[in-house]
Each structure stands twice: as structure tokens, then as C-alpha cells.
Amino acid sequence: MGSVQAQATAAQTPVTVQTDQGAVIGLQAGANSFLGLPYAAPPVGNLRWQPPQAAPTWTAPRDASQPGAVCPQVALGLFAVAGVAPGEVQGDEDCLFLNVYTPTSATADSRLPVMVWLHGGSFTLGSGSAYDASVLAEKYGVVVVTLNYRLGALGFLSLPALNAEAADGTSGNYGLLDQQAALRWVQRNVAGFGGNPSDVTLFGESAGGMSVCAQLASPQAAGLFQKAIIQSGLCFSPGNAVTLAQAAPRNVRYADKLACRAADLACLRKVSPEKLLSTTVPGLRPASNLVWSPVYEAGILPLTLQDAFAQGRFNRVPVLAGTNHDEGRLFVPVLAPKGNPVGVIQYWGGTGLLAGAANLGRVLAQYPVRSYSTPALAFATLFTDAVFSCPAVRVGTALSQYVPVYAFEFRDPQAATSIKAPADLPGLGSAHSSGLIYAFQTPIEGLGSPEQFSPEQAKLSDNLSEAWATFAKTGQPSVTGQPQWSRFDPARANVQVFTPTGVQESTAFTADHKCDFWTQLNLN
């Protein structure tokens, strides 16, 4: 009993760190955690659709034992989060908070590598606090920062009227500006937590991975990080390179639907977050995977990602980039809502929206429905290849002309998850987001828990998290007992494949995902 009491007492041990805003008091429980730290002023009222402003300060030490509010978002029914109904609006505009996790041994003199996490969620949902980075911090001796950034229309609305009031004449990338503000907070403050501000790895998944690509391409992010990890990043995916000029007409129609003339910013800034989030965006390109996302040829993103990477006009740091073998299986319910099976007609229709009517016949010839057990599996496979795997090869090929790139694939045929697979799929496999509990080694609500791992999956988790952490610490990913990784070579398309039976280099990735076909088709 005494041992249990001692552990409970230790779990509540306060830890104080001084920041440039004032002292913060976190808790020691397996690792040190400092939660809900504001890195910018609340973006409310007249600060809605403005770049993030200076964060508040305080005199008395601030309690950092609880996370801050998540940014306004609509709960997605696919992920079962306790106490939140699908379609429910949650969060608060006062949401620009970050969380810091450090090893219990960290001191202000430790100079540990720093990892800054950008969450996914299609730029419309998610939060930094959904990810407990305590195991990463304690197990690998790194400081980990997770953060919120503005989402949806609040984070990515661009309008001519907003362009006119902006100092640089552009608008729309407020969520990315938030990320940069958090990175600057890290530069000013992370040394006090034991981190090295000159050794920062920016890492993210899905929209967070695409955000990493955007920060690579943003001149304003230069020097804010020294390495980058892109997981399932969508960086070259079809329909995502939306320019400011392309977004403007659509967004004007959106503003009109809010009963505010698009030029009436005072009116727009009074619209409730609930109405902003529940109003649909008219005229969205059907093949686009993201309703709200970064806009290019605008301010902090002067070039599209493809142009920036091809021309070498990006922040040149080593990159670790990966995808999951079965990414597309998570998105099958989009084709068949309410749990209905995907039929052949829906398969054809979804394929046409993705690839365009002119390419439909060629794509169906590559993925004939008779070759798969169900139309749902056929669509999931082509979606994986077209949207994730083959664009990732193109990203690696472009970046590798200028910086070291290391490529990997997460391939657990029955990845542990709490998400229920549609009846017309043979399981979710290694679907989109399935590697996150493996990498963080902590439960993620709505996705799953390491408690679900088999012994082989636990080893896979150790290998994946170690590869990420060693890359953050050394610039070269490695796994104990495994040969040294080779850099990605476009001629070989060499990818490290993580499976429950081990880690092995493969040069079959492009053939497995039909990348020669998709590269030739070039949907962008």
C-alpha cells in the first residue's frame, strides 16, 4: 500500500518552469507535463482572421495541469470520442494553446532535442491535447511540444476584403501562421524546459503532415526547425494545390451564405463559430480532399508545394517521410454513408470524382472491380495509391534532389484500432492514422490504445517510435538491431517497411501501389 501511495504522490509532484510570459507549474507523472500554455493572444473579436498576436503574460505562477480548449470543430462520427455526439460543435475560439512534455530528468541545462507535433484532421478537427507525448519524452530523452492551431473557416478563410486589410495583401493561412507562432514560442522558451532551440524536429500526420510540407515551403519558417517528419502528408495529392485566386470566388459565395456580404468583415467577425462551421462551402472542386486547407501563391506560401520543392526553394532540412499501406480504407464510409455497402455504381462514381471523367476508363482498367473481394476494397486500394502512396514518392523524389530523405511504410495487416471497419472491407488493415498509437505509444481517443497490441505489434510500435525519435536526435532514422537505413534514391524507390515481423528495406513500393501509372496520369 505504501508503494502505491508513494506513486500517487509522485504523480502529483509539481514542477515549475519560467517562461517569458511568467512561471508555469506542471506535473510530474511518468514525464513532466505542462499543459494549456497560451502561445498567442485569443484570436477573437477583431483578431478573428488576423495573424496571431502576442500572448498574455502573468505575475502569479500559472497552473499548467490541464489542457486548454480545443479550436472550434464539428465532431466526426467516424471516431468515437466519449461524451461528444457526431455533428456536435465543440471547442472555443480562445484555443491557441500548446503542451510541453519533458523527461523527468530534464533541467534548464539539458539541451535536449525538441519535437513539435502538428495534429491531423483535414484542417477541420483535432487538437494537440489529443496526443499524450509523455512516453516519447521519457523513453527517448526528448522534449515534445503539441499544439492547437485554428481550423476550418476560422483558420483558412481567404477573401478579397481580408486581402485588402492585410499588411501583405493576402489572407487564408491563419492556421499555418499559428503554427509558426508556436514554433517561435519554442525558440524563446524551450531552453527553460530542457530543450535545445537549435535542434527542433517538426513532425505531423495527415493535415499535420501537409502542414509540415507547408512550413518547409514557407520562407517565414526558415530557422524555426532543423528536421522534418511527414506522415501521410497529402502534400502532392490531387486537388490540394489551391491558390489564393482559385479560392476567392468560392469563399465569396460562402460568405454570402452567412448573410454577410463578403466585403463586410465586421458582420463576418460577429458570426458564431457554430454557424461558420455548419455552413457548407459551395462550388468545391469534387476531387479535392480538403474543404479548408492552405492557399498558395499567397503571403507565407509564395509557391505551390510542387513548385517550391522542384525548384529547391524550401527550408532545406533532412526529411523522414512515410505512409500507411492501406490509407484509403478509412475513407470508404464517405462513399457509403449510414453503413451501407459500396456498390459498383458508387465505386465508379467515387473513382470519377477522384480521377476525373476523362480518366475514369483508364483507372477502372487498372483497378477492375472483379480483382477485389468487394467494390469497397477496390476503391480503398486506388484511393491509397492515388492520394497517399504515389504522391509521397513524388514528394520524396523532389526533396531528395536537395536534402537527405528517408522513406518508410507502416504495414500492419491488422493494426490495432478502436475504429470499426465497414462490413464490406476485410478489416481496416493499416488504414489512415493507424500508426499513431504505435508511434506515440499512448492511447489516442477515437483511434485506439497500446493495450490492444499483440507482442509482435508492441515490437512494431517500439521500432516505429524509435525510428522517429532517433531521426529527431541524429538526423538519421535507425532501429536497434537493424541495418543502417539508406537515403531514399528515386532510381531505386527504396522504402523501409515496418511490419509485425520486423523492419526491412523494399524496392517494390512503386510497383505495389502502381505509381508509374499514377505519375503518368498526373491528376494535379
Cα→Cα distances 232→320, 387, 435, Å: 11, 9, 10
Close Cβ partners of 466 (under 8 Å, ≥ 6 residues apart): 140, 478, 479, 480
The residue among 89 and 180 whose pLDDT is bigger is: 180
Tell me the chain's radius of gyration from C-alpha atoms: 22
Residue 288 has pLDDT above 50, yes or no: no
Q: 33, 206, 218, 430: which one is catalytic?
A: 206
Residue 213 has pLDDT above 80, yes or no: yes
| The pLDDT of residue 208 | 98
**439-498 confidence digits (pLDDT tens):** 999 999 999 999 999 999 999 999 999 999 999 999 999 999 999 999 999 999 999 999
Distance CA 496, CA 488 (A): 9
User: Cβ distance 244 to 173 under 8 Å?
Assistant: no
**87-114 confidence digits (pLDDT tens):** 788 999 999 999 999 999 999 999 999 9
| The pLDDT of residue 88 | 82
Q: What phi and psi, each to the nearest 5 degrees, are found at residue 236?
A: -115, 20
DSSP calls for 21-76: TEEEEEEEESEEEEEEEE-S----GGGTTSPPPPPP--SSPEE-SS--PPPSEEPP
Share of the chain above pLDDT 70, in %: 94
Residue 290 has pLDDT above 70, yes or no: no
| The pLDDT of residue 77 | 64
Question: Known catalytic residue: 389?
Answer: no
Distance CA 215, CA 155 (A): 15
Q: Which residues of 136-146 are buried (b: 16+ CB within 10 A; e: fewer)?
A: bbbbbbbbbbb
Residue 139 has pLDDT above 60, yes or no: yes
Distance CA 414, CA 416 (A): 6
pLDDT band at 342 (very low <50, low <70, confident <90, very high): very high
Cα→Cα distances 438→65, 131, 205, 435, Å: 25, 12, 13, 5
Mean pLDDT, the chain, rounded, equals: 93
pLDDT band at 278 (very low <50, low <70, confident <90, very high): confident
Give the mean model confidence (pLDDT) for residues 391-409. Answer: 98
Question: Known catalytic residue: 325?
Answer: no
**183-199 confidence digits (pLDDT tens):** 999 999 999 999 999 99
Cα→Cα distances 45→92, 178, 266, 275, 279, Å: 13, 17, 9, 15, 20
Question: Known catalytic residue: 93?
Answer: no
Residue 285 has pLDDT above 90, yes or no: no
| The pLDDT of residue 501 | 96
The whole-angstrom distance between residue 23's C-alpha and the CA centroid of its chain comes to: 30
Q: 327, 430, 478, 513: which one is catalytic?
A: 327
Give the range among 128-132, 375-379, 480-484, 493-497 with minimum mean pLDDT. Answer: 480-484
pLDDT band at 8 (very low <50, low <70, confident <90, very high): very low
Q: Which amino acid is at 76?
A: L
CB neighbours (10 Å) of residue 223? 13
The cell numbers describing 422, all together, are 465497414
Q: 325, 432, 433, 461: which one is catalytic?
A: 432
| The pLDDT of residue 271 | 96
How many residues comprise the chain? 524
| The pLDDT of residue 466 | 98
Give the mean model confidence (pLDDT) for residues 218-222. Answer: 98
| The pLDDT of residue 313 | 98
Residue 504 has pLDDT above 60, yes or no: yes
Q: Which residues of 53-87 are buried (b: 16+ CB within 10 A; e: fewer)?
A: eebeeeeeebebbebbbbbbbbbbeebebeebeee
CB neighbours (10 Å) of residue 488? 24
Distance CA 300, CA 285 (A): 24
The cell numbers describing 508, all together, are 517494390
pLDDT band at 283 (very low <50, low <70, confident <90, very high): low
**Taking Cα atoms as reference points, which of 330, 377, 331, 384 lies closest to residue 509?**
384
Which residues are paired to 498 by β-bridges?
Answer: 410, 503
313: DSSP letter: -
Distance CA 524, CA 519 (A): 10
CB neighbours (10 Å) of residue 360? 16
Which residues are paired to 90 by β-bridges?
Answer: 73
User: Cβ distance 173 to 295 under 8 Å?
Assistant: yes
User: Cβ distance 36 to 97 under 8 Å?
Assistant: yes
pLDDT band at 358 (very low <50, low <70, confident <90, very high): very high
Distance CA 72, CA 63 (A): 23
The cell numbers describing 172, all together, are 487564408
